[in-house]
Amino acid sequence: MAKTCKLVFALILFVSLYLVSMSAELGGPCRSDEECPQLSLRFFAIKCRENVCIYVDLDPYKPRAEKNQFLH
């Protein structure tokens, strides 16, 4: 049982380190969207904004504060 818990903990640790390193690569300088890494994600895209590559939310069903009248 203890070996299984250690294995699960190690897997979570390595996956989280991988995800952090992936997000750190997005912060690179850019001049256009073509210079940013291209990933095929359903609700996110990587775009160049203010000379930095960032994730942009593409979810059409997510309410926006300026469009949703119930958030006032």
Amino acid at 28: G
Per-residue pLDDT tens over the stretch 2-57: 889 899 999 998 888 877 766 655 667 888 888 888 777 677 888 888 888 888 87
**What pLDDT does residue 8 have?**
92
- Higher per-residue confidence, 62 vs 17: 17
* pLDDT above 70 (res 62): no
Encoding tokens for residue 51? 């000379």
Query: Are residues 68 and 58 in contact, defined by beta-carbon separation less than 8 angstroms?
Result: no
Q: pTM for the full model?
A: 0.45
**Rounded-to-integer distance, Cα 50 and Cα 46, Å:** 13
**Rounded-to-integer distance, Cα 22 and Cα 19, Å:** 5
The pair phi, psi for residue 48, each rounded to 5°, is -90, 115
- Higher per-residue confidence, 32 vs 1: 32
Q: Which element (helix H / strand E) includes 11?
A: helix 2-25
* pLDDT above 60 (res 68): no
